[in-house]
Structure 1
Amino acid sequence: MTAEIREAEAPPEVAAIYARLREGYGLPLVNLIWRRFAALPGVLPWAWESVAPALPLLPAARDRVAASVQVPSLPVGVEASRLAALYNRGNLGNLIFLTALMRGKEGHAVAAPASPPGMLPEPPPLPRLDALDEDTARRVRALATLHGHEGGVVPTLYLHLANWPALLTPLYTALSPMMATGRIAALRDGVLVAASVEADRLRPYLAAPPEPPVHAMAEARELLRVFTGRVIPEMVPIGLMMAR
């Protein structure tokens, strides 16, 4: 798996796209998949320019996918619940957009202009995994290991929850049996079905900018495969449970 470019370290051309992503999503942060795209030559502008024309249609598509997922509540406290709601907006939007991006533009349509969504509140700073104390880092990694993601992906929500380290072990205890019994996998599959329908609706609205260099495009497609197939659709129901 490729590296990432964090927001605070972004060069001007990357920072400019990050700013557009934050405005377009109404999010005060840039999600991991986009930070990984930024580390590949030409991939971030290609991905952003491809999906930007469909942004006016994203809120309704995102709401339909969220409404299709029936999940129990997972008490985590008010602050962590707000953080999860923030990630839900990003994860749902990214899953729809990136599934459409992976499948490619099909058809021709133009979305009606719309005002950007309201910006969600700023979350606490995102810690660095290697800067956490040993016990907290171990608990963050344990949560990530539940998923068995290729390349050892650590979902950013789990890393962000290190701001409340006392939550990490109870969250692991709650999620572990749901993983073991296939409950999360079943929810993931339902999310994938709903997101697939919305992605196909958006494909005519995508742009078709020139693709990045071949080697970067190959890495981008691998990222898309992993993130849209496992990483994001598993975090959607978990985030929805936390936000409830």
Structure 2
Amino acid sequence: LVLKLIRRYLQSGIMINGVVNEAEEGTPQGGPLSPLLSNILLDRLDKELESRGHKFVRYADDCNIYMKSKKAGEGVMTSITSFIEKKLKLKVNREKSAVDRPWKRKFLGFSFTNHKKPKVRIANESIKRLKSRIRQITSRSKPSPMEVRIEKLNQYLTGWCGYFALADTPSKFKEFEEWIRRRLRMVEWKQWKTPKTRVRKLKGLGVPDNKAYEWGNSRKKYWRIACSPILHKTLDNSY
């Protein structure tokens, strides 16, 4: 029954723009069947690596093998590529395959620090995606109530922080928090728009009149103002 279901999945085709197209080979990327079939087919790879005594980690068709030297890594890459293609009849993506230092590679969004006792860290590509998404939510050019922005941030960051909680780099999370709060202060300052409104808002937050006039009429860029002592004190975490 299980094999019949798998066969039906494979032969069901792919829907493109509402039209079903026949699938000649492979499985739809991102579909639930892809990781299942990967685990079934690559179980033999796991056993082969275990029998050789190699340290490795694999998720679906993404696999990292850890060796003590570059020479050993190159030898294993050649032999394992041959095993996968000849024994398992699968294609190895050579563009994504490489022998490299662990801290220069990523796996499921994680990487390692370059220390004698390495720590798990968030990969640079994952950080870039995080910042790109945060910039979208806190864009100055897209008018949106602060409550809506914060709700979107909370939804995104709850999942993101939960996933990357395994990373042993707490300083990065503190750095992200400070950067996000600065982005929010920048948005708030932009939404106050005119010097008159900014002066009134600052005075309402307890800023002395002379300082409120000085900063309210400042010509500094939004990003610089967002990092100023005056906004740090007035638009704090409680605000």
Higher relative contact order (CA 8 A, sep 6+): 1
Structure of higher CA gyration radius: 2
Between structures 1 and 2, the one with greater strand share: 2
Question: Could you say which TM-score interval applies, normalised by the shorter chain?
Answer: under 0.3
TM-score computed with the length of structure 2 as normaliser: 0.20
TM-score (norm 1): 0.20
Q: Which has the higher helix share?
A: 1
